[in-house]
Structure 1
Amino acid sequence: MGKIVEVLPATEELISRSLSLVVEKITEAIDQRGICTIALSGGSTPKALYEAIAKQNLPWEKIHVFWGDERYVPANHPDSNQRMTRQAWLDKVNIPSSNIHPMPTGAEDPAADAEKHQTELEEFFSLSAGEIPIFDIVLLGMGDDGHTASLFPHTEALQVSDRLVTVGNKDGQPRLTLTVPLINNARNVVFIVAGTNKQAALAEVFAPEADAIAYPARLIQPQGQLWWLLDESAAKNLNLVTSEP
């Protein structure tokens, strides 16, 4: 369905636009299918978005929350994406605990926990063998190296096509991450990117030709709608003429 690129003046406007888009897509999913499934990203920019979502009046019992990736640390660890999201959003609203689906990190075996989460996804989405879930919304950030979720440059996770969840690797530290085929099966994928430090990687991700193994965000080409919400400092040097309206 192509991609939509929007450049917002600064972080405040970026969060405001992200909020309106996410609320729109949550409402749309619930209207059409009765529930909304959303996979979240970590990071400082999404934290501000989650704090804003927590102030909305939404039918929380119809929203199911997942994560796109997770550091392999306990759920109460300061680096945990789950912990950050609970503090910023989930603990502040009346969402049923059964609607929260964190990536497990307690087995002391990342591969075993990836398998466990895959099984949970298969059961939740009532999948047949080989089927891929369709998330309503996948929120993503992008690192200054071009990674997204825990799909890091030149790592094995980029090549995984027969799994829904796999083990990513960041400087020898394991992460759990949704795979490229799963992310690309979403109805809406939304990148939220801010900061001058993202300029060089964004130029490669948006270039007509570049190495997707070196800049993994290029691998995200969903069957649904792709949104890039950028602040001006991140988008400063981009030639957006090639972007589809």
Structure 2
Amino acid sequence: MTGPILDIQSDAEALAAHAADWLIERAASKSGPFAVCLSGGSTPRRLYQLLAAAPRRARFPWERTHWFWGDERFVPHDDPASNYRMVREAMLSHVPVAADHIHPIRTEGMDAAAAAAGYEATLKTFYGTDKLDPGRPLFDVVLLGLGTNGHTASLFPGMRVLQERQRWTGVMTDREAGTRITLTYPALESSREVAFLVAGSDKRTVLEKVLAGDPAQPASAVRPQGTLRFLIDRAAAPADRL
């Protein structure tokens, strides 16, 4: 793992555009299958919209990219809270991507534990083995958000899933956030690039804590095999980084 890279843009729109161009560059730099793990949230949504629109749509290698999710609320895919629905509406329904290259977390017809186990099986089938190899990352890019409570994906403070180092997926239930399926640290960290997308002044304090390595913030514990990058806007940037 290299040290974190901070990439600061003027505002949220500039951040989304920069992130879209960066993702295109990362995809172009690799031949063969390109695996992306997606995040929910408003900043990633704008990134997805920009990728699906001209001129970027024509520059992205849709035919060889596989799409996965870092977490999902345990709701049907047509629910307004579904991360899958958000990505589908913002991007996937507007681009030439094959159905078998889209790998959502299944949430219907089973309980949450079965949904987590099913997604772990999906990941292992794609990867080709049930043991992660440090020399062969599962993903090329993992996109992550950052909550004001320090969570990322659905790794919330104080949850048992934070201690999981063997399984690739887990279940998190919170009184306010509900039940969610999430990738665990080992799966999220098995990536050539991990990029946090952080926008807005309400994220400045928690971002400062994460950059300082505060162990109380789950996002602080993400230590990818490859590059750790923070794509942020000026509103979220700590004062000493401007």
Partner of 1:47: 45
Q: CA deviation at 1:164?
A: 0.6
Q: How far is the alpha carbon of 1:157 from its aligned partner? A: 1.1
Q: List alignment gaps of at least 5 residues for structure 1.
A: none
Query: Where in structure 2 are there 5+ consecutive unaligned residues?
Result: none
Q: Which residue of 2 aligns with 1:189?
A: 194
1:37 partner letter: A
Tell me if the contact between 1:150 and 1:169 (Cα under 8 Å) persists in the aligned partners.
Answer: no
Equivalent position amino acid for 1:148 in 2: T
Contact 2:74 2:107 in 1 (8 A): yes
Q: Distance in 1 between matches of 2:10 and 2:77?
A: 35
Cα distance in structure 2, aligned partners of 1:5 and 1:146: 18
Instruction: Please name the residue that 2:4 is paired with.
Output: 3
The number of residue pairs the alignment matches comes to 233
* 1:9 Cα deviation from its structure 2 partner: 1.1
Instruction: Tell me the distance in 2 between the aligned counterparts of 1:91 and 1:122.
Output: 26
Q: Which amino acid aligns with 1:3?
A: P
Is 1:149 aligned to residue 153 of structure 2?
yes
Contact in 2 for aligned 1:152/1:169 (Cα 8 Å): no
What corresponds to 2:173 in structure 1? 169
Q: Does the 8 Å CA contact 2:132/2:138 hold for their aligned counterparts?
A: no
Letter in 1 for 2:48: Y
Across the aligned residues of Structure 1 and Structure 2, the Cα RMSD in angstroms comes to 1.5
Q: Matched residues in 2 for 1:50 and 1:201: separation?
A: 25
Q: Could you say what secondary structure the match of 1:176 adopts?
A: strand
Aligned with residue 71 of structure 2, among 69, 72, 78: 69
State the 1:171 CA deviation. Answer: 2.5
Q: Mapping of 1:65-214 within 5 angstroms?
A: 65-127=67-129, 129-131=130-132, 134-171=138-175, 173-207=178-212, 209-211=213-215, 214=216
Task: Report the Cα offset of residue 106 of structure 1.
Answer: 1.0
2:13 matched residue in structure 1: 12
> Deviation above 4 Å: which 4+ runs of structure 1?
none
Q: Distance in 2 between matches of 1:27 and 1:170?
A: 39
| Distance apart, 1:124 and its partner CA | 1.3
Query: Identity of aligned pairs, percent?
Result: 40
SS at match of 2:122: helix
